[in-house]
Structure 1
């Protein structure tokens, strides 16, 4: 699959780049995508939720009323879950939600997500560019030239660039990531992928290593 390379002004450069068929041309696996996204979300959970059970509530332990003769149900402790201020039954406890997946499965998931973007023609290849200083206004102009204003997009760079990152982070519904940090969740969340020309060359090397 070949795509035209455009400038930051949105004009055609006359050059074309070929997307690796081994990455963008595979048959997508929905289940692999599901597992990888599930793992990503689970691994990002803090797991610090906690509620107090009856043994952890501060209060008197005396029997609050006599066992019989009151006409109501028996009750032994003010810390019982049936009373206001009592402990919670089977409340959440701190836990670790992380789980592992095979590397090959995660690689298949990323390839599948990229293949879906290629099939739906939601990939734009842009020439490499650099910024001498963080300028959000310049990035907004680039997205306007590419007709991506207001659309959720993901800019994929060959290597980290602090100035580009600081410029993009203030643009609504736009994110930037290096190809080494690319993950299935970010790919699927974005409507459009914007690949720099230099990053395209790395896809075959990274995913077929």
Structure 2
């Protein structure tokens, strides 16, 4: 599929690029997309939750009342989970939530996500640009020119560019990544995908394997 190349002022440069049908025009595999997004979100969890169990509570270990004759249930310690301030029964412990997926499935999921965005005509191709210094205002002007000021956008660079990255960091609605950092979740989470010309070769070579 052919897409017009825009400049940072939102005007067509007169050039067009051909996006590979093997990456941007496949039949989306929804289950692969689901698994990849599920893995991404699971891997974001720190898993540092912890509550104190009976053995970890600070408190006396003496028997708080005699075994028989009170008319109530026997109790051996104030740290009993049934008492206020006692330990928690089967409380959460630190653990890893990370999941693993094979490379072919992740590659299929990313191609499916890009194909969905291409079908929705939510992909823009912009010629490579650089900013002289990290300035949020400069990046905001680019968003205005492309008509993305009020939309969630994902900019995909060919190589890391510190000035562009720092200029977008304060904007909640925009994110800048390189083609190697592209994920299914980030693609679907954005309303529009802005591909810089320099990123196309890397995206297609990574996903056409």
Per the normalisation by structure 2, the TM-score is 0.96
In structure 1, how many angstroms separate the alpha carbons of the residues matched to 2:51 and 2:183? 34
- State yes or no: 1:103 paired with 2:118: no
- What does 1:1-209 correspond to in 2, within 5 Å? 1-209=1-209
How much does 1:99 deviate?
2.2
Structure 1: distance between partners of 2:207 and 2:67? 71
Measured on the aligned residues, the alpha-carbon RMSD in Å equals 1.2
Q: Describe the SS at the equivalent of 1:148.
A: coil
Instruction: Give the Å deviation of 1:127.
Output: 1.2
TM-score normalized with structure 1 length: 0.96
After superposition, what is the alpha-carbon deviation per residue over 1:167-189, rounded to whole angstroms, capped at 9, x for unaligned?
01122310000001111111111
Q: How far apart are the structure 1 equivalents of 2:126 and 2:206?
A: 20
Report deviation, 1:102: 0.6
In the alignment, structure 2 segments of 5+ residues that lack a partner are none
Is this contact kept in 1: 2:156–2:178, CA < 8 A?
yes
Aligned length: 209
Deviates more, 1:135-144 or 1:61-70: 61-70
Shift of 1:72: 2.4
Runs (4+) of structure 1 exceeding 3 A deviation are none
- Unmatched 5+ stretches in structure 1: none
